[in-house]
Structure 1
Amino acid sequence: MRHSSMIAALLAPAVIGTLGLTTPAYARAAPPAARVAWIKSCYDKKRQDTDPCGAWRLRLRDGGQATVPGAATRGVTGKGREAHLASTFAVSGDGRVLLYERARDHRLVVRPVSGGPAKVLPEDARPKGIGSDEMAVRLSPSGERVLIDYYDADDRLPSKVITVATGETVTVPAAYGVLGLSADGDEVLATRLASDNTTTLYALRPGGGATRRTPPQVVANAGAWALAADGTTVAALVQGDAERKEPARIRTYDLATGELSEGVDVPAGPHFEPSSAWWDGDLLRATYTRTASTGNSAVVRVLTVDPGTGRIEHDDQYKIGENYAFAAAGE
């Protein structure tokens, strides 16, 4: 989720519907999906700074917009007090599931974009003493599981994987840096720094066991990663270099064999940075973002890549006006 500390102007078009209530007739043929969630920024003259304000809003793939009722505008501190920062928010890679902080008590909840009852995650999804800005939350591509990483002062809190339907929770030791969930949500892609300062890449199975290997630097230093449903194939989104005229690339790495593909050049565009990726079968959905230096406005580009054949399709592109924070699908 991206944040802005600059003064925001009026945003984008007015909201035309409310989540789960009003949907344009042309959108009823298929379940609604979100491209991105965002919240506007307002200037506080007393503090001489900006705060998130208003409701979280969704930009839908059918071109419409919706507000998210019941989602907190601001997050909380570790002491439970309202903070001058945006609340936690995430959108699944397929755009059909949301995670947010409930306004009345800041519990984490998950619900479909199409509406319906929200599933409340266990209370300890945010441990005592952890504020909204001290955790990173990722949904699996289809939203059935949640991965939460904590930024506690002593770095002792384990990360958690929560199954939304049941509330079942498994932990990942704090020694691992978690990168995301696999395409089917069954493994956690993680790293761990070895004593010789090399980085080991892991596909951790929450029930126990792992596949691990020390990857080459081009993989370890990538801008974003995605683990396939097979639990071994990792896509690494390598940042391009406009000055050196080096294009962005996507390479795949096999944790079981150590095989590294030659990769595919990606027309992400100058100044676009890899943001996130997730596997859809043999295809990879890769998101690249170019964020303005003021106002947090951004252009988001989504590509569909077939690493096996090198075929690339421009799946989506959209602009987000000035805002306090935004969360693109899959981030």
Structure 2
Amino acid sequence: MAVEWISKKMIIGNGKTKTSEDFIFSKGTMNEHFVGIQAFLSKYKGDSHHCVGELGIEFKSSLKDGNIIQVELTQTLNDASSHALDTTESWVQVVVIAQMNMTDSNVSFGNIGMTGEQYKTKVDEFQENLISVSACLGSFHSHFFSSSNKLVDHNINSIGASCSAEPQNRSALLNANILIKQNAETVSTTKRLDLNIIRIATGLNAGLAMRTVHFTSGKAGVAHLNSTKEVEFDFEVVSAIALITGFEMKYEGADTHNVGTIMVGASKWDNTKYLSGSADINGANPAIKIDKKKVTITSNASMFEMSNSTKTKNESDSNKVTYLIIAIP
């Protein structure tokens, strides 16, 4: 059994509503795969800021050939007045993870779709007890709808999505939520979220290990920029990847504001453009550094009313991100 992953920055491009990319793996038989998110930046055009009516990142993936996965990306940030995502500067760092040439493995992947603000379920799929199960975000989408099913928008206080998983004998207990919030009474009315599940059962050597790492900042006016944390594994790591399992950005107290830019993920900040430099260039992933048994993750998360770095105001003061770190020896 071989687990492989490919990380690519996907940009929709001018005049389009979606885009697709091929992720080409080593030759052989692909048994399972899933699509996750390492980082994303969603912003309105130029340096503008507006209310939020709809926010989403959605994937469709298909096996194009024996070793090629085609991923279609739809990324949205809209209000009810036709202000929309800047499709040339917004992007998603997409990760496709695949099992290749698997004959007998105690590792399996799954994808569970949810609707509603809170979601909880139990999945029973193994004949053996689970020793580990983890979840990460796949697609997510949330918006405000009126009683007549028309898009409406609001100034917002917070944006967030999260998921988790825990083993219970031969079952996996899953929890998830997604929410755009103005206040306690005004929250997004429609929510969809896909969870990617990685399950390890007792028995064979899994050939990978997983860790969870949390980043948080809570000081008013201080962004969560280029924060780093180190994770140590029990073996010398050959390759590692970071996948978002949850995030939340919140303005101070009960304050509500417009949004210009939302940025989340394992990425690099270069002081000239929010979250640039995260692309996987020539196999190098600048947000993930490996030193023998240690993996260092660089994380960014913030929400700005104005998206020009020289004019920033009303920045989120509580920014949280959780990652699933997967490493192979």
Q: TM-score, normalised by structure 2?
A: 0.29
Structure with the bigger RCO (C-alpha within 8 Å, sep 6+) is 2
Q: TM-score, normalised by structure 1?
A: 0.29
Identify the structure with the greater strand proportion: 2
